[in-house]
Amino acid sequence: MTTLTQTAYYDYSPMIDREPIELPGGARIAVIPYVNVEHFPENLRGTALVPGTANLVPDVLNYGWRDYGNRVGLWRIMEMMDEHGMRGTVCLNADAILEYPRIIEEGEKRKWAWMGHGMNNSPASFLNNIDEQREREIVGQVLSTMEKALGRKTKGWIGPFLSETFNTPNILADMGVEYLCDFTCDDQPFKFHTRTGSLIGMPYSLELNDVPAFLDLGQSASTFGDMIIDQFDVLYAEGATNPRFMPIVVHSFLAGQPFRAKHLKRAFDYIAGHDKIWFTTGDEINAWYREHYLKTDGGEK
């Protein structure tokens, strides 16, 4: 039976053995806000605040709650990010391009980055238990839809609900994707081993992530704000000797609710009050890492 091991796609690299990296401008920490822009078809099951109605068709209770994010919550988050010059790295369902063109328009104005995130975010679109040919078709459709809408090739990828097959990293590298967020195993970027192309792992978070924090762990809005601040304090201190990367993952139907947005803003304000911060995007990190820390033959310097 084929198994996925840490040596299959990337090497084991203890943080204590690494040479210090240098971030642009002498920054101690790179802060990456990931903003999920997702579409949940009304006739398919999706993320639920009230699981008891999730199997109803239509499930108007949870559908309307999710839809608040793209109609209202996202714009609240965008405004607080604008205040500090923070730009989003968007986990973008391809279906959202057709459903919410104003989001694409405003994100482009702000020079946000866009990562492929499957066709939509219903479990029916998860990339597991499918053969390689079908996965290539899905990834190809997402990438081509994004390229047509944005006028450029997509550099990054995150699976819907971080779903993958054993083929996913190789398929992505084959199709020209350059960074992947599914493996949340590091505070710095790292190199994948792939058959072709060149793929790096980009820091992402399961805990500074509002879906697990609120829906699975039952954290309060104020606690989530404190978690972001506490995470920043530790990484900022460690970054004095070897810079770190800090992802903050939000979904507009959760973090965009007013009572939660208040504490997200508190955390953003706190972070912005420090110097030596690089507010950046996945695309910018990918370009920086490849220029300074990835050899032309695909190995790490």
Per-residue pLDDT, averaged over 256-265, amounts to 98
Tokens for 1, please give them. Answer: 């039976």
Read off the pLDDT of residues 61-105 as tens digits, 9 standing for 90 and up. 999 999 999 999 999 999 999 999 999 999 999 999 999 999 999
How high is the pLDDT of residue 123? Answer: 82
pLDDT computed for residue 300 by the predictor: 60
Q: Minimum mean pLDDT among 69-73, 163-167, 237-241, 281-285: which range?
A: 163-167
Q: Do residues 90 and 36 touch, judged by C-beta distance below 8 A? A: yes
DSSP element (H, E) containing 156: strand 156-157
State the pLDDT confidence band at 8, using cuts at 50, 70 and 90: confident
Which tokens in the block code for residue 216? 């699975």
Q: Which residues 6+ apart lie within 8 Å of 234 measured at CB?
A: none
Q: What average pLDDT does this structure show over 159-187?
A: 96
**% of the chain residues with pLDDT over 70:** 95
Average pLDDT in the chain: 94
**Distance from C-alpha of 57 to C-alpha of 91, rounded to nearest angstrom:** 26
Q: What is the pLDDT of residues 96-153, one digit of tens each?
A: 999 999 999 999 999 999 999 999 998 888 999 899 999 999 999 999 999 999 999 9
d(CA 221, CA 261): 8
pLDDT at 301: 55
pLDDT at 295 over 80: no
CATH topology of domain 26-46+53-293: TIM Barrel (3.20.20)
pLDDT for 298:
44
What pLDDT score does 122 carry? 87
HSE-up of residue 191 (Cα within 13 Å, Cβ side): 20
Q: Is the pLDDT of residue 299 over 60?
A: no
DSSP element (H, E) containing 32:
strand 29-37
- Is 29 strand, coil or helix? strand
Residues 17-29: tens digit of each pLDDT: 999 999 999 999 9
* CA-closest candidate to residue 205, choices 245, 242, 238, 165: 245
pLDDT digits (tens, 9 = 90+) for 230-246: 999 999 999 999 999 99
